[in-house]
């Protein structure tokens, strides 16, 4: 299967965030992030993605995050 097909399939499943990890991302220790709506957030470190995800969850008010 081609990567474009896999991305499209996951988008249709309404997964909130899609992480794409290819050779370049492995070399740079990053992930490429796309939202459910298809917006490309670009490459970021896993720590940056974790922060983004924590912020998103906190803003939705579904989970109380404690440090």
CATH code of the domain covering residue 44: 3.40.50.800
CB-neighbour burial class of residue 32 (10 A; exposed 0-12, middle 13-18, buried 19+): middle
Task: For 6-45, write each residue's pLDDT tens digit.
Answer: 877 877 777 889 898 999 999 999 999 998 888 999 999 9
Q: What is the pLDDT confidence band of residue 2, given thresholds at 50, 70 and 90?
A: confident
Residue 58 confidence (pLDDT): 85
Residue 64 lies in a domain: no
Residue 3, token pair as written in the block: 């990567």
pLDDT tops 80 at residue 66:
no
pTM > 0.85: yes or no: no
Q: Are 7 and 40 in contact (CB under 8 A)?
A: no
Residue 62 confidence (pLDDT): 58
Query: How many separate domains does the chain show?
Result: 1
- Residue span of the structural domain in which 34 resides: 3-59
Cα(22)–Cα(11) distance, integer angstroms: 18
Q: Are 31 and 43 in contact (CB under 8 A)?
A: yes
């Amino acid at each position: 299967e081609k990567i474009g097909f896999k991305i499209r399939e996951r988008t249709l499943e309404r997964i909130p965030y899609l992480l794409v990890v290819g050779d370049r991302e492995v070399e740079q220790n990053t992930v490429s992030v796309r939202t459910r709506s298809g917006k490309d957030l670009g490459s970021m470190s896993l720590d940056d993605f974790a922060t983004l995800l924590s912020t998103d969850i906190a803003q939705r008010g579904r989970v109380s995050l404690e440090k």
